[in-house]
Amino acid sequence: MSVVTISREFGSEGDTIAQGAAQALGYHFVDKKTIGTILEQYGFVEFDKEYQTLPSFWERFDAQRETQREGMVKMLNKVVQAIAHHGNAVILGRTGFEVLGSFVDVLHVRLQAPFAVRIGRVMNSYDMTFEQARDAVMENDKVRHAFVEEFYKVPWGTITAFDLVINTDKIAPELAEKWIVSAVKASTVNLETDHPNTTTLVVDRILADAVSEVLECKKEHR
């Protein structure tokens, strides 16, 4: 198993767990900043802003805006696939579970926690009031749900897409990290089956080179 995708709810300690698992495995840690750096090389400098902004009612009827957003998502999918083809990566967010859902050599993990628990964590992490933290969690959930459901046509709450679902309210981050590492090391995947795997992905050579350059540069600056 050379690729792990981690989908997490805001306030579920997902970033910390993903980084820890990547370090323990000796894998590249790929987050929105990493993917954003690659996308910028292809002119998609506004992707993160687009991702975080829900289209208004009238924007949904703006064909040019919709075409632009769809182009960004298609490029995002290509970047995620190129990272998976590179291998040895923990991909945090960016709907990796759906983009790489059909590949047998990818472990898909979902990290979640009850709403109230996530509010408390956000309050502590960002020094917010209860109301501020509640609104931040609700807004973050709304944006993520809308993005996944609009562009990938899958409900955010589905668990059938994941191999491992962890409630970080009951499972401490350190233990969750160990579970992920153990799952990767214990996985036995037969790449000679008819099921697709990441080594069979067809990736544009220039994009593959760009991904390698960014990942290796990030590794050198750890």
Q: What is the pLDDT of residues 129-147, one digit of tens each?
A: 999 999 999 999 988 888 7
pLDDT of residue 61: 43
DSSP β-bridge partners for residue 32: none
- Contact between 193 and 100 under an 8 Å Cβ cutoff? The reply is no
Quote the crossing angle between the two packed helices 130-151 and 115-126, to the nearest 10°. Answer: 120
- Cα separation of 136 and 19, whole Å? 23
- Contact between 84 and 141 under an 8 Å Cβ cutoff? The reply is no
Alpha carbon 185 to its chain's center: 21
Domains of the chain, start order: 3-220 (3.40.50.300)
pLDDT digits (tens, 9 = 90+) for 100-138: 988 999 999 999 999 999 999 999 999 999 999 999 999
| 3-state DSSP of 15-59 | HHHHHHHHHHHCCEEECHHHHHHHHHCCCCCCHHHHHHCCCCCHH
DSSP β-bridge partners for residue 28: 89
Q: Enter the tokens of residue 156.
A: 């955010």
Q: Enter the tokens of residue 117.
A: 């628990």
Confidence of residue 67 (pLDDT cuts 50, 70, 90): confident
pLDDT of residue 144: 84
Give mean pLDDT, residues 184-188: 86
- Cα separation of 155 and 148, whole Å? 7
* pLDDT at residue 56 tops 80: no
